[in-house]
């Protein structure tokens, strides 16, 4: 594999404008299993990047390490220059990273609105005593955060479902709700883990538009894991491909589509030989 | 930090600390031994191990059931109690000997547990776990209060009638009774029998498979319901034997007698690593030994024994929550 | 969702007032006997305790089997305070309460200092800097010693502070009690007793929760059960430490200050507090921990802190309930706080519906009434059958309706308030930038 640029050509990162996400030689070892080896990636500010690979390649493990659920065995993760590996998940979120999950992890028994409002807990604007006494800033702040939550729901077309219990939502809406909830955490970096899973082509089309929209509207940097190639090829500026825990290719959609290693990884040696 | 400073001063300090800790430990043990004489100490250890063997029979039931259905069977201690009473009736009312009595107790407990499992636990297998737990608590209460009614066992303390005379053998100053020999012998035989079933028979393999992954086992054609019932039955039989042996060793029975031994056996199972059979055994021996040591050496030990049993539990949880043989459970995200 | 024209608190308040006056008048006009008057109060006291456990388990998802331990702490602590006032068992009328207040503040000081000093991080730093010249285990031992020394100093400082505070408080409170007339000082002492019963239970909850809350569900249950057994054993032997607690013989001569107005007032206040807490950002965060801890963490919620919060507040409720209980019958016996009785609050909250305050209150009332009612209903000589019937009822409920009476629903003002009516602006994102979608095949 020839040396490939870590980030898209034409994008520069400097001391004063560090990449939003900078991962160096990230490794995760579970007991005897090397789930991720020497993973390196850079995502510049405002980038919409993709991370793909066959099942079990280690993509979600990388996400879990970025968000602090796993502590990496070795390697560094920096968010806008700041080292974040080893911190608790809630701290990493507060620093500006939010995510969705491969198997939807909504708060099943809470309403749609409450699911989103939880993300505001850290900066609710009032303390426990004010909540209990209902005095002080409680009324104003609670109304403000409710409105913010509703506005976010509106971006995803869920504002009319705000009082619905999350587990009663149809699958597609649940996925959108998860993204809305992540957005409510006001992140700088948004990690989406298979946001289009289970969606038909029309729904994925809408999702793609949505992802582009929120990147502009909310000034985000987005990294997504996805299996649906139309989505990945359609919106990602730069794609990193993993297999067996390692990076096997990087490039634009066109470059990746025609990359032999990628084809072999997905379709097997035999298919690769046929090309 | 100065390298020379570290090597010349701090390093020796560390080793002095280690030496002091070791000395303290050795002194503590020798103090205990010297306190009432080495014979007393050894006797305490022996009695503790004996109690541990009985706890082991109970703990095995807990650990097997938890391993297979993730249920803390709170009613298990009461099944133990029923075993004690069953053997009592066999011996006192029908004049049976030891072997038929203990077999009778095991059979009764086995049947009881199968009925409980089918009636109370099976319907709730797909319900949230708390429902089964509450049900187990309810079954426990029911067994305790129902048997305490006058026309059943009554709430009185009943003196157990031993099916044989006590024989004491003395050697090296220690006194060993035939009861102790019986307990150790029977427990070992039952545990070995259990190991045989689990490791060498088809049903044992089915049990292991079911405890690892119920759905996969079902897909492999294993009759999961049957395996679960079998596990409950096996655990209960052991508890019935435990009840009989316990009553022979401490010949007073009453309908609430199962609570503390049940809890302590459960703690022992957790101590050894819940779901692990060797763990339950080792944990029980430890629990029994600590229990008797506390009573033998601490002033007011007999009043504080329960406190120490759970103190051990708390310490284990702080140091290694999964227990001695336990595997940490990693949640897949 | 239809919004009703009447604000939800009005019917709820009406019902509350009706209940309060109903019981009060019934007692004053001898419609109900003293026995049933006490049963009603026990029902309300049980509700307070059960609400605490519902917060910990129903709303926060932490399976605690140790609730009765905190109930006991509240009961005995408050009794010691009031017995001091009436009988001066410690030598003075306010010695016990000033020791308790000073002691609790001392422990709080210790916790605050330990927190500020960030001992965990300190230990890591010392280990790291020493490990450059020494073997790793040597570095760890030394840093452990240093941290232990720091902790020892902090403990000494806290004890000294508590001692000093006690000296001041004792004088202050003694003179206050002497100065005020009996009618005024008695309720003040009672309030202090209830409050301290609650705060001590809360403090112990916090300390117990610190190491235990990071354990998974089942293990946490067993550990808290172990704690409850330890409390029970300690109470059985309490006469060794404080004579007047009389250990297994039971503590007697506690003033009978609990009355329906007190119980109802405390219950109403605590319901309001819990409702306000749960219907706020903190409440939502607490519930999110129950729903999905990992997702909650990923939303920026400090799960550990929230678990501690729920556990501590729950302990407070148990302590307050215990304090009221102690002064209802004037007699405390350790058997009231044994493991069997310890399951009562769990059974109540499951029966009422986990995560429903309304359910908990209703179930508490029904529980008290059923246990006592059966005693009355059953023919002579069959009273013990109620302990057989009650688990049968429980089993039937588990088999037929495991979600409990109310499930997770609430009634009236306890319900989550609806968000204010609003026209929500919907952004237009068909104004989408370029990027023609390449019609590629799916891999």
- Give the pLDDT of residue A220: 93
Distances B305 to B44, B312, C239 between C-alpha atoms, Å: 14, 11, 17
Measured distance CA(C194)–CA(C321) in Å, rounded: 8
- Contact yes or no for A90 and C301 at CB 8 A: yes
> CA quadruple A170, A176, A182, A186: dihedral positive or negative?
negative
The predicted model scores a pTM of 0.89
pLDDT tens digits for A119-173?
Answer: 999 888 898 998 999 888 899 999 999 999 999 999 999 989 999 999 999 998 9
Helices of type H across chain A: 59-66, 89-95, 112-117, 128-133, 138-155, 171-184, 201-217, 229-235, 253-257, 260-267, 269-274
Q: Are the beta carbons of C263 and C41 closer than 8 angstroms?
A: yes
Residues 6+ away with beta carbon under 8 Å from C326: C74, C75, C76, C78, C79, C197, C254, C332
- Contact yes or no for C295 and A105 at CB 8 A: yes
Q: At what angle do helices C9-28 and C34-53 cross, to 10 degrees?
A: 150
Strand A48-52 vs strand A33-43: parallel, antiparallel, or unpaired? unpaired
Task: Find the CB nearest C420 among A117, A143, A155.
Answer: A143
CA dihedral C69, C70, C71, C74 (to 10 degrees): 130
Helices of type H across chain B: 3-5, 11-36, 38-69, 76-88, 98-116, 129-148, 178-200, 202-212, 214-219, 224-249, 259-272, 277-297, 301-319
pLDDT tens digits for A50-98?
Answer: 999 988 889 999 999 999 999 898 899 999 989 998 888 999 999 999 9
Q: Are the beta carbons of B101 and B163 closer than 8 angstroms?
A: yes
Question: Could you tell me what percent of chain C has a pLDDT over 90?
Answer: 41
Cα atoms in the 13 Å half-sphere on the side-chain side of C18: 6
Q: Which residue has the higher pLDDT, C384 or C196?
A: C196
Q: How confident is the model at residue C301 (pLDDT cuts 50, 70, 90)?
A: very high
- Give the pLDDT of residue B328: 66
Task: Find the CB nearest A151 among C355, C416, C425.
Answer: C425
Residue C290 confidence (pLDDT) above 90: yes
Strand A238-243 vs strand A246-251: parallel, antiparallel, or unpaired? antiparallel
Exposed/middle/buried for residue A189 (C-beta within 10 Å: 0-12, 13-18, 19+): buried
Q: Which of C260, C251, C254, C255 is nearest to C34 (CA)?
A: C260
pLDDT tens for chain B, 333 residues: list them: 566 776 777 778 888 888 998 999 999 888 888 887 888 888 888 999 999 999 999 999 999 998 888 888 989 999 999 999 999 999 888 888 889 999 999 999 999 999 999 999 998 888 877 788 888 888 998 899 888 887 788 878 888 888 888 888 888 778 888 888 889 999 999 989 998 998 899 999 999 899 888 889 999 989 999 999 999 999 999 999 999 999 998 888 998 899 889 989 988 998 898 888 889 999 999 999 989 988 888 877 777 888 888 888 888 887 777 888 877 666 666
Residue C6 confidence (pLDDT) above 90: no
Neighbours of B, requiring at least 3 CB pairs below 8 Å, are A, C
Domain locations along chain C: 9-413
Buried b (16+ CB within 10 A) or exposed e, C199-225: bbbbbbbbebbeebbebeebbbbbbbb
Residue A10 confidence (pLDDT) above 60: no
Task: Find the CB nearest C291 among A109, A132, A185.
Answer: A109
Which residues 234-263 in chain B show a CB within 8 A of chain C?
259, 263
CATH architecture of A21-96+187-274: 3-Layer(aba) Sandwich (3.40)
Q: Are the beta carbons of B270 and C222 closer than 8 angstroms?
A: yes
Measured distance CA(A165)–CA(A109) in Å, rounded: 6
Residue C368 confidence (pLDDT) above 50: yes
Task: Give the mutation candidate from B307, B308, B309 for the C interface (greatest C CB count, under 10 A).
Answer: B307
Bridge partner list, A246: A243
- Contact yes or no for C218 and B304 at CB 8 A: no
Neighbours of C, requiring at least 3 CB pairs below 8 Å, are A, B
Q: Are the beta carbons of C265 and C312 closer than 8 angstroms?
A: no
- Give the pLDDT of residue C442: 38
- Contact yes or no for B131 and C398 at CB 8 A: yes
- Contact yes or no for C429 and A209 at CB 8 A: yes
Residue A274 confidence (pLDDT) above 60: no
Nearest residue on chain B to C342, judged by CA atoms? B137
Within 10 angstroms of residue B42's Cβ, the number of other Cβ atoms is 14
- Contact yes or no for B330 and A64 at CB 8 A: no
- Contact yes or no for C216 and B10 at CB 8 A: no
- Give the pLDDT of residue B332: 63
Measured distance CA(B291)–CA(B297) in Å, rounded: 10
> CA quadruple A12, A16, A19, A23: dihedral positive or negative?
positive
- Give the pLDDT of residue C1: 53
Q: How confident is the model at residue C239 (pLDDT cuts 50, 70, 90)?
A: confident
- Give the pLDDT of residue C123: 79
Cα atoms in the 13 Å half-sphere on the side-chain side of C48: 31
Quick check: helix, strand or coil at residue A45?
Answer: coil
Say which DSSP state B322 is in.
T
Q: Which of B96, B117, B77, B90 is nearest to B242 (CA)?
A: B77
Domain locations along chain A: 21-96+187-274
pLDDT tens digits for A206-222?
Answer: 999 999 999 999 999 99
Q: In chain B, which residues have their Cβ closer than 8 Å to the Cβ of C350?
A: 130-131, 134
Token digits of residue B144: 């305790």
Q: How confident is the model at residue C78 (pLDDT cuts 50, 70, 90)?
A: very high
What are residue A25's phi and psi, to 5 degrees?
Answer: 50, 45
Strands across the sheet containing A82-83? A33-43, A21-30, A74-79, A82-83
- Contact yes or no for B333 and A30 at CB 8 A: no
């Amino acid at each position: 594999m020839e040396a490939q640029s870590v980030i898209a050509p034409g994008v520069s990162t400097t001391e004063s404008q560090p990449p939003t996400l900078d991962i160096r030689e990230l490794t995760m070892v579970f007991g005897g299993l090397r789930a991720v080896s020497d993973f390196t990636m850079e995502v510049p500010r405002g980038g919409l990047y993709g991370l793909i690979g066959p099942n079990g390649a280690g993509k979600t493990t990388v996400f879990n390490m970025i968000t602090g659920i796993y502590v990496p065995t070795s390697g560094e993760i920096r968010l806008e220059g700041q080292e974040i590996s080893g911190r608790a998940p809630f701290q990493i979120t507060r620093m500006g990273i939010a995510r969705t999950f491969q198997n939807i992890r909504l708060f099943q028994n809470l309403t749609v609105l409450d699911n989103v409002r939880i993300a505001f807990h850290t900066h609710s604007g009032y303390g426990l005593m004010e909540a209990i006494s209902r005095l002080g800033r409680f009324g104003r702040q609670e109304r403000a955060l409710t409105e913010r939550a509703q506005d976010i729901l509106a971006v995803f077309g869920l504002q009319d479902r705000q009082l619905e219990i999350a587990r009663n939502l149809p699958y597609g809406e649940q996925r959108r709700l998860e993204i809305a909830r992540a957005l409510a955490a006001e992140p700088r970096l948004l990690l989406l883990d298979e946001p289009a899973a289970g969606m038909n082509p029309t729904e994925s089309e809408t999702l793609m538009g949505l992802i582009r929209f929120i990147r502009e509207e909310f000034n985000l940097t987005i990294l997504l894991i996805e299996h649906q190639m139309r989505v990945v090829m359609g919106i990602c500026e730069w794609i990193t491909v993993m297999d067996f825990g390692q990076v096997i290719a990087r490039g634009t959609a066109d470059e990746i589509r025609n990359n032999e290693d990628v084809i072999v990884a997905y379709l097997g040696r035999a298919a690769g030989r046929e090309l | 930090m100065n390298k020379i400073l570290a090597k010349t001063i701090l390093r020796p300090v560390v080793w002095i600390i280690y030496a002091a800790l070791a000395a303290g430990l050795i002194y503590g043990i020798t103090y205990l031994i010297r306190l009432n004489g080495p014979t007393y100490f050894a006797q305490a250890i022996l009695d503790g191990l004996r109690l541990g063997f009985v706890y082991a029979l109970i703990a095995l039931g807990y650990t097997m059931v938890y391993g297979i259905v993730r249920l803390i069977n709170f009613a298990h201690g009461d099944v133990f109690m029923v075993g004690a009473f069953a053997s009592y009736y066999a011996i006192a009312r029908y004049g049976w000997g030891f072997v038929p009595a203990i077999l009778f107790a095991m059979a009764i407990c086995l049947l009881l547990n199968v009925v409980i499992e089918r009636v109370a636990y099976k319907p709730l297998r797909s319900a949230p776990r708390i429902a089964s737990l509450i049900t187990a608590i309810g079954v426990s209460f029911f067994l305790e209060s129902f048997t305490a009614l006058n026309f059943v066992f009554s709430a009185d303390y009943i003196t157990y009638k031993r099916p044989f005379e006590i024989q004491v053998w003395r050697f090296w100053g220690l006194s060993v009774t035939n009861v102790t020999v019986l307990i150790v012998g029977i427990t070992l035989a039952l545990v070995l029998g259990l190991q045989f079933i689990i490791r060498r028979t088809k049903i044992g393999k089915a049990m292991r498979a079911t405890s690892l992954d119920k759905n996969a086992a079902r897909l492999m054609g294993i009759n999961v319901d049957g395996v679960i019932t079998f596990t409950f039955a096996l655990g209960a039989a052991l508890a019935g034997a435990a009840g009989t042996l316990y009553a022979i060793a401490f010949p007073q029975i009453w309908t609430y007698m199962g609570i503390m031994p049940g809890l302590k056996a459960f703690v022992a199972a957790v101590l050894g690593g819940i779901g692990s059979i060797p763990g339950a055994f080792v944990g029980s021996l430890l629990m029994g030994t600590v229990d008797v040591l506390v009573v033998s050496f601490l002033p007011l030990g007999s009043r504080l024994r329960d406190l120490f049993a759970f103190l051990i539990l708390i310490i284990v949880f702080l140091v290694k929550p999964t227990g001695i043989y336990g595997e940490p459970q990693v949640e897949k995200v | 969702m239809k919004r009703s024209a009447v604000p939800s608190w009005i019917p709820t308040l009406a019902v509350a007032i009706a209940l309060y006056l109903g019981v009060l008048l019934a007692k004053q006009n001898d419609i109900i006997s003293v026995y049933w008057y006490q049963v009603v109060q026990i029902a309300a006291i049980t509700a307070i305790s059960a609400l605490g456990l519902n917060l910990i388990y129903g709303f926060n998802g932490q399976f605690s089997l140790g609730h009765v331990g905190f109930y006991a702490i509240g009961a005995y602590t408050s009794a010691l305070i009031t017995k001091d006032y009436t009988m001066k068992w410690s030598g003075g009328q306010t010695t016990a309460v000033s020791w308790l207040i000073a002691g609790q503040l001392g422990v709080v000081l210790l916790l605050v200092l330990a927190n500020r000093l960030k001992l965990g991080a300190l230990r890591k730093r010392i280990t790291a800097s020493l490990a450059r010249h020494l073997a790793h285990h040597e570095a760890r031992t030394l840093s452990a010693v240093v941290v232990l020394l720091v902790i020892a100093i902090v403990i000494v400082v806290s004890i000294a502070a508590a001692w000093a505070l006690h000296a001041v408080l004792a004088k202050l409170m003694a003179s206050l009690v002497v100065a005020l007339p009996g009618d005024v000082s008695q309720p003040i002492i009672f309030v202090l007793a209830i409050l301290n019963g609650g705060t001590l239970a809360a403090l112990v909850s916090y300390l117990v929760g610190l190491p235990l809350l990071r354990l998974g569900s089942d293990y946490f249950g067993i550990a808290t059960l172990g704690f409850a057994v330890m409390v029970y054993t300690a109470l059985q032997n309490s006469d060794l430490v404080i004579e007047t607690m009389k250990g297994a013989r039971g503590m007697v001569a506690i003033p009978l200050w609990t009355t329906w107005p007190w119980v109802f007032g405390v219950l109403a206040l605590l319901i309001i507090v819990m409702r306000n807490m749960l219907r706020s950002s903190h409440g939502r965060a607490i519930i999110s921990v129950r729903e999905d801890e990992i997702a909650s963490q990923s939303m920026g919620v400090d799960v550990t802190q929230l678990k501690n919060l729920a556990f501590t507040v729950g302990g407070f409720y148990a302590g307050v309930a215990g304090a009221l209980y102690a002064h209802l019958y004037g007699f405390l016996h350790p058997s009231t706080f044994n493991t069997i009785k310890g399951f009562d609050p769990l059974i109540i909250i499951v029966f009422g519906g986990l995560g429903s305050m309304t359910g908990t209150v209703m179930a508490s009332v029904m529980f008290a009434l059923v246990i006592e009612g059966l005693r009355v209903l059953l023919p002579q000589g069959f009273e013990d059958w109620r302990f057989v019937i009650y688990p049968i009822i429980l089993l039937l409920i588990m088999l037929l309706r495991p979600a409990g009476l109310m499930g997770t629903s609430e009634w009236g003002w306890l319900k989550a308030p609806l968000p204010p009516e609003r026209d929500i602006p919907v952004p237009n994102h068909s104004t989408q930038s370029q990027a023609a979608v390449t019609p590629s095949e799916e891999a």
